[in-house]
Amino acid sequence: MRIAEGVLCAGDFRPGGASTCQGDSGGPLYCPSSNGQMVLAGVTSFGNKCDNEVSAFSDVGYFRDWINSNL
pLDDT at 4: 87
pLDDT at 52: 67
Structural domains in the chain?
7-61 (2.40.10.10)
Greater pLDDT, 18 or 70: 70
> Which tens digit of pLDDT belongs to each residue from 5-56?
999 988 877 777 778 888 899 999 999 999 999 999 999 998 777 776 788 8
Of residues 64, 18, 62, 60, the one with CA closest to residue 43: 60
Mean pLDDT across the stretch 55-60?
93
d(CA 28, CA 45): 10
Confidence of residue 1 (pLDDT cuts 50, 70, 90): low
d(CA 52, CA 41): 20
Whether residue 3 has pLDDT greater than 90? no
